[in-house]
């Protein structure tokens, strides 16, 4: 079992939902980003999604695009992402870390090298948003052979014919994108998300975590309530982009976590 599997097993035993947060690695600087990352578990975060900055983030909205550019401007790269994870792991060997990003940086590094370094650094899973199931042999299957979960996204447009392909080699959890569009878009509703989550859960034993458009503790509670947890990203990245101190960012994260854990 990976740390992700262990975390969901523990949460199920405790009767709690998962609170997952996204931050961009190196935003706005390596040091500030690491400070926030180190504080996330104590603020109530169960799983950390760590963004890999990329020059062409086609699935991301303006908030996360800007975060990636800030990180790039301060010299963030794949080496430094791994360095950040290693630094986090010196004090925390239990919180799962999922790298989220695009395939180009993985391909440029070489799949075998990337996976070996990710595993050594202490990464538990990957979300690579621009690799469809038809390309599972490219990264998904090698990642799972290396002991990493490969987490796939399902969306409102993933119909009954497509869903089995999406789920076929997915592990860890399914990330349900609750709205059509880019990150940071309009808030989803339980009426629209609930039936879709139920449809996915009928087809898999994996946990289903709901993300996109969640920015308040109330929304986190509702979305965690219809799934096995929720993801908050842009709302946190926005505070970092405004230059808020790490303590203020983490205080807001704690409020969001309380909402998610009530779900």
CA 196/CA 44 separation, integer angstroms: 27
pLDDT reading at 220 higher than 80: yes
**CATH number for position 44:** 3.20.20.70
Q: Which two tokens stand for residue 55?
A: 């020059």
Sequence-ordered alpha helix ranges (H) in 40-137 = 62-73, 78-89, 103-109, 111-121
pLDDT, position 187: 64
Give the domain range for residue 220: 3-262
pLDDT, position 61: 86
CA 68/CA 52 separation, integer angstroms: 8
Say which of 5, 27, 46, 60 is annotated catalytic.
Answer: 60
Q: CA geometry: angle at 194 spanning 189 and 198, to 5°?
A: 160
Does 60 participate in catalysis according to the annotation? yes
Say which of 5, 27, 49, 221 is annotated catalytic.
Answer: 49
Measured CA to CA in angstroms, residue 207 lies from 46, 76, 171, 185, 233 at distances of 14, 32, 9, 23, 19
Residue 100 in contact with residue 231, Cβ under 8 Å? no
Mean pLDDT of the 125-148 span = 96
With residue 176 as reference, give the H or E element that holds it: strand 174-177
Per residue in 8-53, pLDDT (tens digit) is 999 999 999 999 999 999 999 999 999 999 999 999 999 999 999 9
Q: What's the structural domain count of the chain?
A: 1
pLDDT, position 11: 97
Query: Helix, strand or coil for residue 20?
Result: strand
CA 17/CA 156 separation, integer angstroms: 22
Neighbours of 185 (CB within 10 A): 15
């Amino acid at each position: 079992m990976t740390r992700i599997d262990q975390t969901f097993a523990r949460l199920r035993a405790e009767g709690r939902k998962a609170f997952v947060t996204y931050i961009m690695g190196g935003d706005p600087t390596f040091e500030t980003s690491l400070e926030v990352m180190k504080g996330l578990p104590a603020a109530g975060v169960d799983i950390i999604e760590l963004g890999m900055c990329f020059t062409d983030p086609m699935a991301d909205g303006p908030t996360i695009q800007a975060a990636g550019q800030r990180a790039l401007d301060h010299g963030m790269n794949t080496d430094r992402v791994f360095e950040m994870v290693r630094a986090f792991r010196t004090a925390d060997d239990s919180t799962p870390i999922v790298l989220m990003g695009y395939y180009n940086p993985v391909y440029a590094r070489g799949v075998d090298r990337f996976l070996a370094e990710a595993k050594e650094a202490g990464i538990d899973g990957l979300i690579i948003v621009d690799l469809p199931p038809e390309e599972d042999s490219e990264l998904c299957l090698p990642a799972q052979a290396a002991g990493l979960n490969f987490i796939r996204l399902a969306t409102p447009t993933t119909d009954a014919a497509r869903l089995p392909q999406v789920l076929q080699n997915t592990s860890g959890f399914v990330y349900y994108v609750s709205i059509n569009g880019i990150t940071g878009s309009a808030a989803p509703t339980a009426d629209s998300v609930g039936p879709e989550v139920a449809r996915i859960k009928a087809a898999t034993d994996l946990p289903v975590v709901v993300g996109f458009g969640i920015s308040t503790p109330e929304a986190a509670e509702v979305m965690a309530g219809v799934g096995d947890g929720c993801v908050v990203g842009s709302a946190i990245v926005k505070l970092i982009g405004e230059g808020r101190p790490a303590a203020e960012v983490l205080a807001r994260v704690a409020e969001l976590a309380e909402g998610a854990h009530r779900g």
